[in-house]
Amino acid sequence: MTLEELSQKAHALWRSWEEVSANLASPEDLESVRIKFLGRRGMLTQLFSALKELPASDRAEAGKILNVLKERIESALAEKRALIAAQARLAKLARERYDFSLPGKWRPLGKLHPLTQVRLEIEEIFLRLGFDVASGPEIETEYYNFEALNIGADHPARDEWDSFYLGEGTLLRTHTSPVQIRVMRTRRPPVRIICPGRCFRRDNPDATHSPVFHQVELLWVERGLTFAHLKWVIGEFVRAFFGPGYEMRFSADFFPFTEPSAQVHIRKKGTEKWLEIMGAGMVHPRVLEEVGYDPEEVTGFAFGLGIERMAMLRYGIEDIRIFWQNDVRFLQQF
């Protein structure tokens, strides 16, 4: 090989680099081209090995040509590498740009059960009127559930509260009225409490009966209370809970622990149908005596309402069982 031939090969090699390098697009392309030109068996490396075929006088000149070529290819490779990296970064940025018009991720929110919402609302109404919230056990003794409420063992009214007996004089409370006794036994008048809670009766489930249900009990005992005060409190409640478009009606009823006793109905003004909302009455003197109050000194009144019933009237729900089915399509509506 002559210097002339080697020089021509060097030029050819540069042209073929120029051709190839125009189409480099990825780091992998770059690497395979680098190996092809500069690798241990690469085209340029082969030219360097050809140096020894040259006459000794030409080798220095030829070596310079090859070194210049090598530097140019190396720096061109470095430039290409930087360019490809920059393009990759730009492409990544474009790919990752936020599209604010895309729909968001759906995260369903939990809610309070409608019965809980109604209970809280009722509590709030009476807290505003100055009542405390009290509570008592769901497993009661016959004494608190019946006897102290003037319902003796042989009292026919016991049949009205068909009970789940647990043995040894205990049962699942059939109403929240036993809390009246528990509160009065531990406080002196004036007493103003409401007590929301779960109650249990051996009723077969149907559209209006559930063996487990909720009541709110109210009790106010103080000097000088009359039936008029009872009517006022219930009137305030009806207005706050159902709204102004309702009228109420009291009719005679019987509970062993109140005298006189009443059943309270409401009716949307301009409609026909009366709807029962609660049982109520003046606390029976025997009940006051039982807890150590003097019926000559203080009087009181009480009522008990069903939370399910309030919710059904408020929302037009026709089957009580739906509260316990945990159907999200129902629960979501509240």
Residue nearest to ligand PHE (CB): 304
Residue 314 — left, alpha, or beta (φ > 0 → left; ψ -120 to 50 → alpha)? alpha
Q: Extract long-range pairs of 37-42: CB within 8 Å, 24+ residues apart.
A: 37/13, 37/73, 38/70, 38/73, 38/74, 38/77
How far is it, in rounded angstroms, from Cα 313 to Cα 334?
Answer: 14
Smallest distance, Å, CB 333 to ligand PHE? 29
How far is it, in rounded angstroms, from Cα 45 to Cα 35?
Answer: 10
Considering the rule CB under 6 A, would residue 304 count as an interface residue with ligand PHE?
yes
185 secondary structure, DSSP code: H
Select 189 or 279, whichever has its Cβ closest to ligand PHE. 279
Considering the rule CB under 6 A, would residue 200 count as an interface residue with ligand PHE?
no
Smallest distance, Å, CB 174 to ligand PHE? 7
Smallest distance, Å, CB 169 to ligand PHE? 20
Considering the rule CB under 6 A, would residue 177 count as an interface residue with ligand PHE?
yes
Select 196 or 279, whichever has its Cβ closest to ligand PHE. 279
Total number of residues binding ligand PHE (CB under 6 A)? Answer: 10
Considering the rule CB under 6 A, would residue 255 count as an interface residue with ligand PHE?
yes
Do 286 and 180 contact (CB within 8 A), yes or no? no
Do 126 and 134 contact (CB within 8 A), yes or no? no
How far is it, in rounded angstroms, from Cα 34 to Cα 73?
Answer: 9
Considering the rule CB under 6 A, would residue 221 count as an interface residue with ligand PHE?
no
Smallest distance, Å, CB 304 to ligand PHE? 3
> SS3 of 217, please?
strand
How far is it, in rounded angstroms, from Cα 303 to Cα 230?
Answer: 9
**Which range touches ligand PHE (CB under 6 A), out of 96-104, 151-159, 236-244, 302-310?**
302-310
Residues 256-295 that bind ligand PHE (CB under 6 A): 258, 279-281
Considering the rule CB under 6 A, would residue 216 count as an interface residue with ligand PHE?
no
Considering the rule CB under 6 A, would residue 302 count as an interface residue with ligand PHE?
yes
Residue among 264, 303, 311, 313 that touches ligand PHE (CB under 6 A): 303
**Which range touches ligand PHE (CB under 6 A), out of 2-10, 24-32, 232-240, 300-308?**
300-308
Q: For helices 43-50 and 27-38, what crossing angle results, to 10°?
A: 10
Do 182 and 144 contact (CB within 8 A), yes or no? yes
* Interacting residues with ligand PHE (CB under 6 A): 175, 177, 255, 258, 279-281, 302-304
